[in-house]
Structure formats: structure tokens, C-alpha cells
Amino acid sequence: MSKYTNLTREELISRLESLELSAPSSPTSSTSRNLLHSRSPSFPSITISAPSKPPKTIKPPKTFHFAAHPTRHIALMIAYEGWPYSGLAIQADTAQGPVKTVESELLVALEKARLVEAGKGLEGAGYSRCGRTDRGVSGAGQVADLWVRSARRMGDGGAEVVGWREAEEPVVRPKKVEKPEDGEGESEEEKSQVKVLKKPKSQPAASPEATEFAYPRLLNAILPPSIRVLAWSPLPHPPVDPSLSSTKPSLSDPSSANPAASTSSSSDPTTSAYPDPQYLPFNSRFSCAYRHYKYAFHSPPTPSSPPLDIALMSEAAQLLVGEHDFRNFCKLDGSKQIESHKRGVLEAYFEKEGAFGEAREDSSLYVFNLIGTAFLWHQVRHIIAALFLVGARLESPSLISDLLDVGKNPSKPAYQMGEPVPLTLWRCGYTDKGLEWRYGGWDGGAEEEEEMEMENRRKAQEGRESLERVLESQRQEAELKAWQAGNMLRSLRETLGPMPPSSLSIGGNAGGAGGDGQGKGGEETPAVYSIGGGEVVITAKYKPVCDRPKGETPAVVNRKWREMREVKGRWKENARGKPKAGEEV
């Protein structure tokens, strides 16, 4: 029992007052707080902290399996500036590193876009090109064909897909797994197993808008500005020739479907696996009916030179038309082992153009057009060099006939070919292969174009506007740079006046074509003539082309190359059979 139980009210008050007087400070509030704390239950202290974030788990990148995707055979139209590159074709690496070419950049873009299988090169995609251009030479209508990844699926409801094949190794998707709800009537082993329910095959929903990848847009987003894919076309495959069922290349192999990928440069598939052209698949090189080259030049070629005689050049150019042996208009290459140098020229003519292709009579820019079925190495540049000599009146038009006469000139005389920068591969022509160029992903054919021409034309060119803007911007930039360079020349002429007469002669005989390097009275005079691209040759005495030293004939060049190959082969055999240092014989 408590000691305060028997105390009276007055005694309790007296007791509390004595306790208040004995407290150090704030007796009332302090005592009250102490009493409250002594009577309240005690709880353990709790520290609340912000929840810690789990560490981020970096997911490994998804493995892209190219063989799990369908592919199709398409053609690409490619334009490129030649001067930044060491030619069109991919070349082996040198001691200085990789060689930058147009096709090396194209391969990088194709692999980044996952349109071709990485690591297999262009050959692994059955790649073929129409014409190979050299260092500095540009292209405005180069055509290449290859097998690329496709977005289409069989039965997707879109237009009929052509030149298409299923994935080589389709992805096996996991099937739906379910356990039986009721195990009645089954053994314990059966109950413990998981039943795999087969998913019924479902056809894709019909979609009239089923489209393909917009291949030009994909590639142009990766390619450098100096290379552009202008269009693509589906490539239908021909019917199977039953008489060649055992020898016909299989479409499952890109290299066999493309004769250029499995044959040498001098072979012709029309004489081997495909004797009948109607059973030939499309091949950019062998299916081409003609190639159109353009070579631009200025007249006059120098400020002090008279204009070139375009009429004489046109007369000489007409002698090129037809099938001729062009061995004296090319550079010989023994590694090709070309036995026949006969090629066909369909047209050869000159046009007067403005700086950017518009027709302008006041322009000093001319374009030489050469259209033929096929061309030899550096053939166009040798032809324009000979025509420049005719235009400078250093040679007569008969120079062309003399160089085409291999009886009179069995090997090429020494003369300098034209510069590469003014040359471009303008068009590759295909007459009966059904190319239908488009920019976007629309995958319709000619039949749809007749029925819904305007709508399908819009779909086929979807995305073209952005490319137009880019190309027009590049054109304007080039035009402004040309204008600025021209300002220097205009300022010079305004400051110093007209150019005084030069002692240099455009030709040795000012009275007509076929100069002999002699001035009036038989006096020798220097001569200057153009080789294109703003470059000229100045010579103290001009020597006619057919009187110059001649090179080796094609037969001799081919024989020497074969002999050298045999010698190198013996060297390699001896090197393999020779014991290494320290080995016992």
C-alpha cells in the first residue's frame, strides 16, 4: 500500500508545495513533463531512411541473326563524287591502312543497317555492279544488284513479292506451355510433365499497305554526303529452264544466282549456265544494254587560247560509232587476259551546257557524250584526249581512223589520256529487265501504277523531298564556291585589263587542222593543248601521235603476264619446300 494513502487533502497539498520549492528550475512544467514521461509507455527508436535503388543491370545487346530473316534481290541506283575516293571497287588494305573507296563506304552502310550479313563482304550478298570507275571518276547513275534483308513476308497481304526467299534459318519461337487443370485419369509421371500445346498457324492479316524497307533512306542516313542511293527496284526472277535443271545456279546461293560473283571478268554467263537469255536472272553488268558516259570541258581551255574547234571534234567523234578494235584507246592489263578489244559505240556527240546541266548557249562548258555497249579500261579518257588534239587543230579527224586501224597501228602510240575528274558514268541502260525505280518502301508493280497512278507514284517517291533538299543544298554550295573563285578572275581582269596576246599557239598550223608544229615560214612554235579538268600540256614542238613510239601489243602484254605468273608460282613452291633455319634436311 502506498504511503500517501492515509494522508489528508491538506497534507497532500503541503507535500506537493514542498516538492515544487525543491525543483531547480521551471518546477511546474518540468515536473509535469517528467510525470508524463514516466507514465507513458516506452517504444524503441526507429530510423527511417530512403529506400536504396537496386543496382542497374545492363542487358546484353540482342544478338542479330541475319539468317533468320528473309532476303530479296534488288537493284540500287547510286550516285557519287569520285575525287574523294580511290575508285569505286573495294581494294585490299595497304601498309598505310584501309583504302577508301565508294564500295567500301557502301559496305559499311549495308552492314550497319543490317541489310547484309556482317563479315561476308559484298561477295556474300551476290553483289554485282554495272561498270567499274577509277580514282577521281564520278557516277550519277551507277547500278548495282545484291541480296538484302527484306521486311516483307509471304502472305502479308501486300503486292506480290518478287525476287524474294524465305529465311535460311527461321527463328524457333517458344511455344505456349500449360499444365492440365485436372490430372484425373493420368499417372503421376504424366501429371509431373508439362504439356506443350501446339499453337495453330495463323496467316498474317491482309494489309494492302504492306511495304518493303525504304532502302535508299536507310543507307543515305549512314553514307557520307559524297555518296547517295537515288532509288531501288525489285528484281523479278526468270522462269526455270527445264533443260538446264541440273546446271542452273540455285537461288538459295547468292553467288550462284549472280554470275558476276562466281565468274571472272572475261567470262560470259550467256555461254555457260544460261544459253537462253530469257532464263537469265538480272545482273547489273551482264544485263546492261548500254552505258552512257559524260565528259565535261571548257572551250577555250586557257585564257590565252582560242576556242576548241567543236565542229572538227564532232566530225572525228562520228568515226567512233560502230564496232571497232579499241586497243589504241585504252590501257592494257595483262591480268585480265583480254583477247578481243572490240567494243561497240552507239552514239558520240557534243552538247553545250551550263555549269549545272541547264542548256545555255552563252556557256563555255561543253559535254562530250559517249554511249556504248561496253568499255575498256580508261577507254573514254583516251578517246577524249585524242578529240582534244583534233579540237586544238594539232591533229586532223583522221587520227581516230588511224588509231582504229590495228593493221597500221597494232599497238598504242604514246599519248596522255584525259583527266578523271570531268568524267562521270551518267546512265546504265536496261531495256527488257523490268526495272521499276522508287525511293520509298512502296512495293507495288506496273499494274498498280496504271490503276492508281498518282497515289502509287506518291508512295514510290515517299521521302524523296528530304533527299532533294540535301542535294540542292550541296549544289548551291558548289555554285557559290565557283562564283567566289570566278570573282578572283573577274577582279584580276578588271584591274589589269584584257590578257595580252600569248606566244603559245593552240596548234602548229593556224590555217587548218593537222598542224605540224611549224609556224609561218617553217619556224617552230610552242603548242598548248587541253587534257581536261583545267589541265593543259605545253610542248616546245608538237609531234603527231602516229609518229610517236609505240607500246607493246595486247598479245605480248598477255604473254609476259602469264610468264611472270609462272615465275612467281615457282618462287612460291621453292619457298615452301626450302627448309627453315635450324631444320634438318
**Cα distances (angstroms) measured from residue 186 to each of 177, 189, 197, 198, 360:** 18, 8, 17, 20, 92
CA 553 – CA 411 distance, rounded (Å)? 5
Can you say how many angstroms the Cα of residue 90 is from the centroid of all Cα atoms in its chain?
11
Q: What is the CA radius of gyration of the chain?
A: 41
Start-to-end Cα distance in the chain: 120
**∠ CA 494-499-505 to the nearest 5 degrees?**
160
Coil vs helix vs strand at 473: helix
Q: CA–CA separation, 507 vs 517, rounded Å?
A: 7
CA dihedral 444, 445, 448, 452 (to 10 degrees): 70
Cα–Cα nearest to 323, from 397, 374, 377: 374
Distance separating alpha carbons of residues 538 and 503, to the nearest angstrom: 12
Dihedral, 74, 75, 76, 77 alpha carbons, nearest 10: -160
The answer to whether 325 is a known catalytic residue is no
Options 93, 134, 253, 547, the catalytic residue: 134
Distance in angstroms (rounded) separating the CA atoms of residues 290 and 444: 27
Q: What is the dihedral of CA 185, 188, 190, 193, to 10 degrees?
A: 140
CA distance 150 to 1: 98
CA distance 568 to 136: 32
d(CA 150, CA 120): 18
SS (H, E, C) 144-165: EEEEEECCCCCCCCCCCCCCEE
* C-alpha cell recorded at residue 92: 585490299
Strands 342-353 and 195-196: unpaired
Q: Tell me the three cell numbers of residue 46.
A: 526507429
Q: Give the type of residue at 188.
A: E
Contact between 368 and 384 (Cβ < 8 Å): yes
Give the Å distances, CA to CA, from 3 to 7, 8, 12: 8, 12, 11
φ/ψ of residue 107, rounded to 5: -65, -40
Tell me the C-alpha distance between 511 and 393, whole Å.
9
Residues recognised as catalytic? 134
